[in-house]
């Protein structure tokens, strides 16, 4: 078994190689253009979230800034509304890709009555959308990983071709939930993809103090292939995710993907990252920003500068309109503050 897993790991890692300089096909250019627009929307929504937080209109802000390429491209390999997608608190870009509206993101951030995820009762980026098969998540790191394995087991029992995907950060791999979920999925060869977004930090703790080995290599210990991919290269992520999803859907079992991403801002708006990140580290993070990187790639592929500028302007206007809509939404009724806390006769 160990030899088989090792071979699969090497094969997948080779397929996930980065090649920004290579020529793009017409299909790849089309995919990248669509993903770029979604990435732009995620970034614009993210930046406006921080502004309303600074204005005192929102209590707590969590960000997907720097993770957009990995999230959008991986989510594009899924069947929205068919596959189960277990998100975590940085998953806003993935949520937008599968159909969550930016207005609803802002309603949640502003704790509005019509927030469809929790009626203003949850932290931001805690998505819960039945029609999109986005189950409710917890703020406690990694607790959704066993749930994702359970959804995979349910698909096996029901004879469905559903794939279950769990998004999580590098810090989650240090939790017991990670071990339990991968053990269960590996033993039963469940249709699950474990997608780790490794930005090198669990709040302020560097990955070297979280994991004694590279994260993708841990897959072999649970009987599944593991792959490390450049999380700032959407095509590399998409290919790796397609491979894992296809493998899961045909009944060959789970996979572990480690996408090396970058966290461009603090853990949250309650965090001062300058305490634990040097100016050189912050500059290196900015240099890996996936949005300008993809912009350069599109320009190199022949996409006109004017077209890119138009998309950027349109997306910014879309995000600002979504915020205005959410701000105009009604606040929760104080009488409902304790609703759903206790059973009612």
Token match 């930046």: residue? 47
pLDDT category, 277, cuts 50, 70, 90? very high
Question: What is the model's pLDDT at position 20?
Answer: 66
Question: What is the model's pLDDT at position 112?
Answer: 96
| % the chain with pLDDT above 70 | 94
* 1, pLDDT greater than 80: no
Stretch among 78-82, 90-94, 138-142, 310-314 having the lowest mean pLDDT: 138-142
| % the chain with pLDDT above 90 | 86
* 4, pLDDT greater than 50: no
pLDDT in tens, 309-326: 999 999 999 999 999 999
Alpha carbon 298 to its chain's center: 23
Stretch among 8-22, 82-96, 110-124 having the lowest mean pLDDT: 8-22
Could you tell me the pTM of the whole model?
0.92
262: Cβ contacts below 8 Å, ≥ 6 apart: 66, 67, 199, 200, 231, 232, 285, 288, 289, 290
Alpha helices, H only, the chain:
2-15, 26-54, 68-76, 92-98, 102-109, 144-158, 176-187, 234-249, 279-287, 290-300, 305-327
* 15, pLDDT greater than 80: no
* 128, pLDDT greater than 80: yes
- In whole angstroms, give the CA distance from residue 176 to residue 182: 10
Question: What is the model's pLDDT at position 21?
Answer: 60
111: left (phi over 0), alpha (psi -120 to 50) or beta: left
* 5, pLDDT greater than 80: no
- In whole angstroms, give the CA distance from residue 93 to residue 49: 13
Average of per-residue pLDDT across 236-260: 98
- Residue closest to 100 by CA, chosen among 66, 60, 131: 131
Average of per-residue pLDDT across 149-157: 97
For residue 89, the SS3 value is: coil
Give the E-state strand segments of 76-225 in sequence order. 84-86, 164-169, 192-198, 201-202, 205-206
* 19, pLDDT greater than 60: no
Question: What is the model's pLDDT at position 265?
Answer: 96
Tell me the C-alpha to C-alpha distance, in Å, between residue 64 and each of 29, 90, 169, 223, 332: 24, 5, 11, 30, 27
β-bridge partners, 246: none
* 304, pLDDT greater than 50: yes
More confident residue, 295 or 344: 295
pLDDT category, 122, cuts 50, 70, 90? confident
- In whole angstroms, give the CA distance from residue 336 to residue 339: 5
* Angle 13-17-19 from CA coordinates, rounded to 5°: 175
Domains of the chain: 2-18+25-327 (3.40.50.970)
119: left (phi over 0), alpha (psi -120 to 50) or beta: left
More confident residue, 269 or 3: 269
- Residue closest to 130 by CA, chosen among 114, 138, 118: 118
β-bridge partners, 192: 164
Average of per-residue pLDDT across 102-107: 98
pLDDT in tens, 38-59: 999 999 999 999 999 999 999 9
Stretch among 5-19, 135-149, 195-209 having the lowest mean pLDDT: 5-19
HSE-CB for 160 with a 13 A CA cutoff: 14
* 16, pLDDT greater than 70: no
Are 167 and 71 contacting, i.e. CB atoms less than 8 angstroms apart?
yes
Mean of the per-residue pLDDT values for the chain?
Answer: 93
Question: What is the model's pLDDT at position 281?
Answer: 96
pLDDT category, 342, cuts 50, 70, 90? confident
């Amino acid at each position: 078994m160990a030899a088989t897993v090792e071979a699969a790991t090497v094969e997948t890692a080779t397929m996930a190689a980065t090649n920004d300089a290579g020529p793009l096909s017409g299909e790849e250019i089309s995919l990248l253009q669509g993903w770029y627009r979604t990435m732009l929307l995620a970034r614009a929504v993210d930046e406006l979230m921080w502004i309303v937080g600074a204005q005192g209109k929102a209590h707590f802000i969590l960000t997907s800034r720097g993770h957009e390429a990995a999230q959008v491209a991986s989510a594009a390999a899924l069947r929205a509304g068919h596959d189960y997608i277990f998100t975590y608190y940085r998953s806003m870009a993935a949520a937008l890709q599968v159909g969550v509206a930016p207005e609803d993101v802002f309603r949640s951030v502003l704790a509005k009555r019509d927030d469809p995820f929790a009626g203003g009762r949850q932290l931001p980026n805690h998505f819960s959308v039945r029609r999109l098969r986005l189950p409710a998540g917890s703020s406690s790191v990694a607790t959704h990983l066993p749930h994702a394995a359970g959804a995979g087991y349910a698909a096996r029992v029901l004879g469905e071709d559903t794939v279950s995907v769990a998004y999580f950060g590098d810090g989650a791999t240090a939790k017991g939930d990670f071990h339990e979920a991968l053990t269960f999925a590996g033993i039963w060869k469940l249709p699950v993809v474990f997608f780790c977004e490794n930005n090198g930090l669990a709040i302020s703790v560097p990955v070297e103090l979280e994991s004694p080995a590279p994260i993708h290599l841990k897959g072999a210990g649970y009987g599944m292939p593991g792959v490390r991919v450049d999380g700032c290269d959407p095509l590399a992520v998409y290919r790796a995710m397609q491979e894992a999803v296809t493998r899961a859907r045909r009944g060959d079992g789970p996979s572990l993907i480690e996408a090396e991403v970058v966290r461009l801002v603090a853990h949250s708006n309650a965090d001062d990252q300058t305490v634990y990140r040097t100016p050189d580290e912050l500059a290196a993070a900015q240099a890996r920003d996936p949005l300008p990187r993809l912009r350069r790639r599109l320009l190199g592929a022949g996409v006109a500068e004017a077209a890119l500028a138009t998309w950027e302007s349109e997306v910014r206007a879309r995000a600002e309109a979504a915020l205005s809509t959410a701000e105009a939404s009604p606040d929760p009724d104080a009488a409902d503050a304790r609703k759903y806390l206790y059973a009612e006769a």
